[in-house]
Structure 1
């Protein structure tokens, strides 16, 4: 191979010594996104999170999609991601398990976004009628919380109802095929069941007295080391949340597409899930603490975790 002229060779050497492109040098923020209607899913679809973090010299590395909060929190515990989404119930389970995470945003679930469902032709007309019947729930998650809260507030002994522990996907199939009498769940499964499985709402979140919320979560060390970036993520999510509230149909379309659901479900999913997101307040910590108390009383977790320590307070 012929030798290059000296000037050209020096030029190549100089190019090799140049700094790497800014994108490669940017601080990575690893976000685990869920197939779920939340502000992170919105920000991913609209590109807003990438732009907000790029303005601070950071770049997003997406992980997922995760089917639910539990596997996303496993990834966070393993150090594979920095930020993800979940729920109050998932947060309590994670804190009780010793996962080093903190809640940094709180979004109270709309009453129609969760509840206990039965088939339209079911003889079950009130919560007390669930005695001696089976209910599909996800173990230690929102479904089990909704059922236990509903039974307690209506004076039905927990032992009188058979809990069938299934994943949300398996619960839907069991409910649709009549293998269980009821299903305690949340959106989008509520919308799917009402529109596709011949379901009716036996009791929504308000009737149950649910304190559950969507939460945004981060690794504890990320909150300590990268607080300005975490604040930027929260600010971006709140902006996307305001957009979703003003554009529920379009937000529903984004969420339905992310979850590979029919477009016909988008309007209801948008209405159920475009509700305000905020930084965590003292009142929110108290509500999460109520769920922790329920979990301990119901034997779902052995002891109450330190809820306040599991929260990072942002502006």
Structure 2
């Protein structure tokens, strides 16, 4: 009897090791989505994330849409969501503020997905012409990074350009009404500006020298407790990303619809944003660190966060 009891106990102890990595039944994953062209938006529209998580015995709850990464990260910090998307600049601000989050996917932004816009008839013809002008940016985010990086690269004193801190939607209104001379922004606002607001691109991401990227982020607690579910989300996002690269017009249609934009903008949005996503590499960490160093020297954040400690590498 003792041998039979020990045998049963040994078998019971072995079961967890032999079972496949799978979340407990009834787990919930809360994803905060943005009105933005990224892999989470694609997965939401195609229903792929729900299916992948259901296969893990979990269900998916969508929160949002959030207007930008900053409020989504505030929700993550408050424990209201587990996963969201943003830019590498948003990650730096969040890590500097000690929000308990990690980056688990990285997508370098295409040159056409960022830029500094001016009106078609503006006398501003070069970045040097921004001296003495006003530029709409979002404080501490991608817009401010793009402007400051462009000025630095082109030898323009940052103090010679007035930064007007506005949300993306308020920036668009200020730009169209002539309250600012230029607008430093990203997609879909680059496409909206050019196609709908009579803007031209003064400098795109390549001319600016931008190192910015779209990132997918998760709370530390979620990573520590529900790693199989994070892996399922990551794998599905990679699948959706490959689909988007092979179907740029359809991806653009999905993103335009999610952002309530005219269908005519879809091809340009698809072309600008259907670019490869990958797990975070050492080179990606180094690139974010360069932006973080620049953020500190520009006094956008008070301290340089430990970027490497804010990354989880998934295979």
TM-score by length of 1: 0.92
- How do 1:131-280 and structure 2 match up within 5 A? 131-280=131-280
How far did residue 25 of structure 1 move?
4.7
Which residue of structure 1 lines up, in the alignment, with residue 38 of structure 2?
38
Which residue of structure 2 lines up, in the alignment, with residue 72 of structure 1?
72
Return 5+ residue gaps in structure 2 as ranges. Answer: 1-23
SS class of match (1:236): helix
2: distance between equivalents of 1:33 and 1:157? 37
1: distance between equivalents of 2:248 and 2:206? 21
SS class of match (2:36): coil
Which residue of structure 2 lines up, in the alignment, with residue 283 of structure 1?
283
Deviation track 1:231-266 (CA, whole Å, cap 9, x = no partner) reads 111100000000000101110010001001111111
1: distance between equivalents of 2:177 and 2:161? 19
Which residue of structure 1 lines up, in the alignment, with residue 295 of structure 2?
295
1: distance between equivalents of 2:195 and 2:64? 28
SS class of match (1:135): strand
2: distance between equivalents of 1:186 and 1:230? 27
2: distance between equivalents of 1:63 and 1:85? 12
Count of aligned residue pairs for this structure pair: 292
Which residue of structure 1 lines up, in the alignment, with residue 21 of structure 2?
none
- How do 1:10-49 and structure 2 match up within 5 A? 25-49=25-49
2: distance between equivalents of 1:163 and 1:105? 31
2: distance between equivalents of 1:295 and 1:220? 24
2: distance between equivalents of 1:59 and 1:294? 40
List structure 1 runs of 4+ shifted beyond 6 angstroms. Answer: none
Which residue of structure 2 lines up, in the alignment, with residue 11 of structure 1?
none
1: distance between equivalents of 2:258 and 2:196? 19
How far did residue 284 of structure 1 move?
0.3
